[in-house]
Structure 1
Amino acid sequence: MDTKPFSFNLVTTNKRGEIISTTLGYARSFIQDLGNGVNLEMVQIPGGKYLMGSREERCDWEFPEHEVKLPNFFMSKYPVTQEQYKSITGANPSMFKGDQLPVENVSWNNAVSFCEELATKTGKSYTLPSETQWEYACRAGTGTGTAFYFGDSINSDLVNYNGNYSYGLVHKQKFRQKTLAVGSLMPNPYGLYDMHGNVYEWCLDDWHSNYNGAPDNQNPWFSRSSRWKVVRGGSWNTSPQDCRSTSRSLHMADSACGDIGFRLVLNVS
């Protein structure tokens, strides 16, 4: 891929959700032309190892913590926007309207169909991320002891979530009650935006109630005839607990909600 570098500001927070440092981050990306002036930016994610999941004190469905190794891949810089979705499907089912808002109110089936249409149009094998890819990209090199990629706590200037809920030492924050334009808030160390909050994101995987038997690589985890699929990242309407890097939830493959969207990956040989 013909990638080009880009830079971005990064922040870290303390346990009160206050920004304590700002640094400059760097990543590489390529632009996929979708036609009619609409582009899709794909960010290069470096391969590596990480510990997926939480330690025992967390929820059962985030356990057991286990090592995963992944090769390089690309992930979309933002959740798929309404403009991008319309450019491929001709439709916009979203509850909140705006070209640069994330598309939502799309089922897992809709998201997979979008990927298939995009792959046909471009000749590249775009898919939804596997759960292992999603969590790896969200953590972006941060360790298992950190709930969010910027630190141990959260505030509504960094994440679009339901600020009526407290988290740790951070009490009531803004509750916007809607999505924000993609890229409105701060990125993670890989240069990805909106990995926490704004909209939940579909993963390819079927839902499993724990990680016993889970893949230790980039592959999605499927069961026979499961209707339940994984969503990650939390949303504008969820608690900060649901926005943590390790947090997992589930929805039926044919269900669509105003706080669920998706982003894309492109695997490289």
Structure 2
Amino acid sequence: MEHALRTRGVLTLMLLLLVGCKPAANPHAVTAQPRQLPTSPPARPAQSAQPQGQVRVQGDDALAVVLSWSLPEVAISHPAAARSAARRALAKGDLFETAQSAIPLLLALQKLQPGNLQDAKLLEKSRTALLSQAWSALAEDEDLASLRYAQRQATVLRSLWPEYPHVQEYLAAVDQVGQAFDLTLAGEAKLRAGELDSAGGALEKFRKALVLWPPLLRAQRGLGSVEDVLVAKAQMLAAAGDYDAAYGLLARAGQVRGSPLLAQVVGARIEAARNERLRRMRDAGLIALGTGSGLQFAREQLADMLRIAKPGDAASVELRQRIDMVSRYDVFQPRQVFTDEMPDASRGPSMVVVPFGEFLMGSANGEIDANADEQPQHRVSFERGFAMGRYEITVGQFRRFVEATGYVARATQRGHSMAYDVRSGNFVRGSGIDWRSGYDGQPAVDAMPVVHVTARDAEAYAAWLSQQTGAHYRLPSEAEFEYALRAGGRGRYPWGNALPPAGVENLAGGKDVSPRGRHWNNAFAGYADGWWGPAPVGSFTANRFGLYDMGGNVSEWVVDCWHKGYRRAPARGEAWVNPGCRNRMYRGGAWSSAPVQARSAWRVSGGVDITNARIGFRLVRQL
């Protein structure tokens, strides 16, 4: 159907040029009695009231050559040969342009031998073919050559058979399309001027054009353009926070082509963006609450949220409640270990209160292996503490979430993830690998850190844990992670500037050996941790804040989107995000990390849907 509409669209352009002066009957017209020819397309719109058989020329005088066809002079010495030539020309579709075309030859033969029924039948077939060509050319959408050809065919038909009914029908159709095209041009001008659906605006012009000629694709596209502009303006208003005006424009857009589904679909998209915006504002406010002096910022965030939120919006209610709580309490102590109670009286993940303070985030100029993405080094302050998971989230803890909610993680959905291939020593994509699997794709025990999860999987777990405990859990910001990783240190590595001391982290050590007897190519010389792959959480030494596996075992997802370097980075520890970003940060070394990747400032990003055997997560709980 789309092709059919497109092939008729050129009728719009043609009418600038085809329109009206009734010609006199041509002296060379065929004298044989005409019969009804099935040459015009069925179910054409009602014809205009203009006199039939008229063609007018409007606009470009350069088209005079196209519209000034005259019958070529033909000299015939051998009628039989001329008749054969006419048949060949007719078979090829060469109908009128030269003295060797079918129609000039047959008219000359008719003049030479009046009453020849064979010539009359051939001429009738030629007229039928010309009308068929004319309608086909008229239906070709936005093809300039076809447009010119249709105009020239109209001139030929008007010159030879102006009184023939099918010719009159064709010429009247050309005129009808011309009126519709004029309206379409006027509608496009209104559209450019921004006059969309007001009285006399673009929408009215396009609708009138389509009443005259429904197949006119250019007018149909005009309706679509009005709709698109209204939708775009609605989305701009929504982005500016004026949701009432946005939904008003969406309602108008839905009326353009009578498509209520449009308003529903775009409205759902705007509503999802509003909810995401509110969620991020809530998180920014909650992170700010953890900085002490961020209370005013959180209140400002709440005021902005209430301006754009629906009554009773959950994110706004949560932030309001947290502001009320933080403004009154201070019950935790630095390095305190605690857990939250779950509805079944069990306990949530073990948390450690990270003390407030400040640090220099990123790598210093001249640091070995530093790169520009870790700079400039800048000061980040935490005026209040926050609680961070004492350990990485385990397979068992994630299993409890999945069994309680029926959640389907990303790797489970797509049926594969990246794991270590023991035989080849490479990381390869394996089927059937998901959060239940270990680094090598084999089933993992519950004490192992969960891997093969995306940042969104981690956030889904955090949302469930928040609902279960009544506290607010989330992924840490990148600044929070590096602050907790360094734990007050300023060295190249979390433990300092030298080689790792025994038992400090699960890293790529020069003495580590794979199940097949392989060694790391790029490792800490002389170091052995006893594991080729992740170890059960808490197997190594805690850092100065009481946190385990921050610099090794598995790397961990954080909230932040990828930014190249720290220019204009937040200075209060909040996450640095862009709505809809496709690349998220993960931090900290892993069981396979080379020395350069175990540095405190090392940072890297991954797509929101990537999963592999080296990335897991831990959570932060807002105090």
- Shorter-normalised TM-score: what interval? 0.7 to 0.9
The counterpart of 2:398, out of the listed 73, 85, 89, is: 85
Q: What residue number does 2:372 align with?
A: 60
Q: Which is bigger in relative contact order (C-alpha 8 A, separation at least 6)?
A: 1
Q: What residue number does 2:437 align with?
A: 95
CA contact (8 A) 1:93 1:104 kept: yes
Q: Name the Cα RMSD after superposition.
A: 2.2
Could you report, residue by residue, the CA deviation over 1:37-76 in whole angstroms, capped at 9, with x for unpaired residues? 5541110111111110011232111100000001210001
TM-score of the pair, normalised by structure 2:
0.37
Q: What residue number does 2:600 align with?
A: 245
Could you report, residue by residue, the CA deviation over 1:16-54 in whole angstroms, capped at 9, with x for unpaired residues? xxxxxxxxxx93111123447554111011111111001
The counterpart of 1:109, out of the listed 440, 456, 462, is: 456
Task: Give the deviation of 1:2 after TM superposition.
Answer: 7.0
CA contact (8 A) 1:31 1:41 kept: yes
> Bigger CA drift: 89-98 or 235-244?
89-98
CA contact (8 A) 2:476 2:620 kept: yes
C-alpha distance in 2 between matches for 1:262 and 1:33? 21
SS of corresponding position for 1:245:
coil
C-alpha distance in 1 between matches for 2:497 and 2:622? 29
Q: What residue number does 1:162 align with?
A: 508
Over 3 Å counting, the alpha-carbon distance change for 1:172 and 1:188 in structure 2 is: closer
| Structure 2 residue 460 is matched with structure 1 residue 149 | no
| Structure 2 residue 356 is matched with structure 1 residue 47 | yes
Over 3 Å counting, the alpha-carbon distance change for 1:172 and 1:124 in structure 2 is: closer
CA contact (8 A) 2:471 2:621 kept: yes
SS of corresponding position for 1:137:
helix
| Structure 2 residue 500 is matched with structure 1 residue 191 | no
C-alpha distance in 1 between matches for 2:467 and 2:483? 27
CA contact (8 A) 1:115 1:128 kept: yes
Task: Give the deviation of 1:117 after TM superposition.
Answer: 1.0
C-alpha distance in 1 between matches for 2:476 and 2:577? 13
TM-score of the pair, normalised by structure 1:
0.83
Larger relative strand fraction: 1
User: Match for 1:113: what amino acid?
Assistant: A
Task: Give the deviation of 1:118 after TM superposition.
Answer: 0.9
Could you report, residue by residue, the CA deviation over 1:133-179 in whole angstroms, capped at 9, with x for unpaired residues? 00000111112x34223553225632212222244xx3564573311
Between Structure 1 and Structure 2, whose CA radius of gyration is higher?
Answer: 2
| Structure 2 residue 586 is matched with structure 1 residue 204 | no
Q: What residue number does 1:134 align with?
A: 481
Could you report, residue by residue, the CA deviation over 1:70-128 in whole angstroms, capped at 9, with x for unpaired residues? 12100010001111111222277132201111111100110011111111111111000
Larger relative helix fraction: 2
Task: Calculate percent identity across the aligned residue pairs.
Answer: 32
